[in-house]
Structure 1
C-alpha cells in the first residue's frame, strides 16, 4: 500500500512538472482566465446584474470545460503512445493503478491552479457587495468536482489512441453528452421511444443539473457521490484500456 502511494506521488510530480515545462500550460491558463472573464463580465453581465453573487461566473464553467478539459487530458496517454514511452512507463516498479491515478491527479491539480487564479473575480464581488461566500465556496468545490469528472473520462479516452487530436475530439463529444444529458431537448427526444426508467437514468447522468444544485450552495451527498463515482469508473476504465492495449502502437 505504501509503495502505491509513493508510486502515485512520483507519477504525480512527473506529470505536473511536464505540464509546466512547456508554454502550452501557460497559454491554457491565460486562455481559461480570458474566457472565464469574458463569459462572466460581458456575456453574464456580472456588474450590470446588481446582485452580489458569482452565478454568471459559474454558469459558464460546464461549457468551458467541455472544450478545456479534453485539451488538458488529451496528452495524458496519447502522447506516451506517440513518443513510444508508454512501454517504459509500464515497466517501472509501480502498479498500473498508481500510474493512472497519478496522471489524473496531476491533470486535476493543474486545473485547480487555473481555477484558483480566478480568485480576483470572487474578490471583485466582495468589494462591490456582500455575497454569500459559503455559496461561492460551494460553487468552486462543485466546479472542481465537475472538472475532475471530465478529466477522468477524457483520460480514459486518451488511452484509446496515440493521436492527441483524436483524443481531444473524443473528449469533447463525451463531455458534451455528459453536460446535456438532462436538458429538455435530450429528454424530449428520448421520451418519444424510451421507457420512464431509461429517461430517469439519462437525466441522472446530467452533469449540468448536478452542478446547478451545488452552484446554488446545496452540496448534496448524492451529487458528490455521482462525481466521485464518475471519476472512479473512468479511472478503472482507463487502467483497463491501458492494460488491454499493452504493446499496441
Structure 2
C-alpha cells in the first residue's frame, strides 16, 4: 500500500508540475458551464435540479478523460523512464493503481470545483440534494471507467495520439450501447435478453439511473468491475512487454 501511495503522490504532483492539470480543469469547468447553461438551458427549464449539468457528462468524459489518460504509460515508454520504474522494488500492479488513483483524483477535483453550481441551484430553489450527491457519485464512478479504458490503451502504445484515439473509440462504443438509437435498432429484431445485455454494458445506462438519484448496487458494481477489468488488461499488457 505504501508503494502505491508513493506512486500516487508522484503522479499527482506530476500533473501540476506542468500545465496539464490546470488546462484540463479549466477546459472541464468551461465546457461544463457551456453545456449546462447554453445547451442544457439551466434557467429556462425552471426546475431546481442539476440534470442539465449531469446529462452531458458521458459525452464530456468521452474526449476529456482519454486526454488525461493517454500520458499515463505512453509517456513513460516514450521517454524510457519505464525501464527505471520497473527496476524499483514495487510491482506493476502497485504502479498501475498509483497512476490510476492519481488521475482519478484529478477528475474528482474537477467535480469538486463545480460546487458553485450546487450552491446556485440551492439558492434558486429547493432541490433534492440527495439526488444531486448521487449523481456526483455516479459521475465520478463513470469517469473512473473511462479512465481505466484510457490507461489500458496508453499501455499498448508509446504514441499518445494513438492511445487517445483508441480510448475515444472504445469509450464511444460503451456509451453508444445505451443510447435510444441503438436500443431501438436492436429492439426491431433482437430478443429482449440481447437488448438488455447491450444496454447493461453501457456507461450511459448505469449513469442515467444514478443521475436520477437511484443508487443500485448493480450500477456501482458495474463501474467497479469495469475499472478492475480494464486495469487488469493494462497490467497484462505491461507484463507482456516486460517479458520481451
Secondary structure of the residue aligned to 2:99 is: helix
8 A Cα contact 1:135 1:217, kept in partner: yes
TM-score by length of 1: 0.94
Give 1:188 shift.
4.3
What is the CA distance between 1:25 and its match in structure 2? 1.4
* Partner residue in 2 for 1:228: 224
CA distance in 1, matches of 2:52, 2:86: 44
Query: 1:73-109 deviations in whole A, cap 9, x for unaligned?
Result: 0000000111011111111101111110110000000
Q: Residues of 1 paired with 2:102 and 2:108: CA distance?
A: 10
Alignment-derived partner of residue 205 in structure 2: 209
Cα distance between partner residues in 2 of 1:203 and 1:106: 30
Q: Which residue in 1 is equivalent to 2:27?
A: 31
Aligned match for 1:51, one of 43, 47, 50: 47
2:128 maps to 1:132: yes
Q: Secondary structure at the match of 1:245?
A: helix
Distance 1:82 1:247 in 2: 18
Shift in Å at residue 200 of structure 1? Answer: 2.8
Within 2, Cα distance between the matches of 1:86 and 1:108?
A: 21
Q: Aligned pair in 2 of structure 1 residues 193, 86: CA closer, same or farther (>3 Å)?
A: farther
Q: Deviations over 1:167-196 (max 9, x none)?
A: 100111111111111223223444567665
- Mark the runs of 5 or more structure 2 residues left unpaired by the alignment: none
1:89-168 to structure 2, matched below 5 A, reads 89-168=85-164
Structure 1 residues 91 and 192: alpha-carbon distance in aligned structure 2, compared to 1, 3 A threshold: farther
Contact 1:69 1:154 in 2 (8 A): yes
CA distance, structure 2, for counterparts of residue 198 and residue 130 of structure 1:
41
| 2:238 aligned partner | 242
CA distance in 2, matches of 1:187, 1:125: 33
Of 19-28 and 69-78, deviating more is 19-28
User: TM-score under structure 2 normalisation?
Assistant: 0.96
Give the RMSD, CA atoms, in angstroms. 1.4
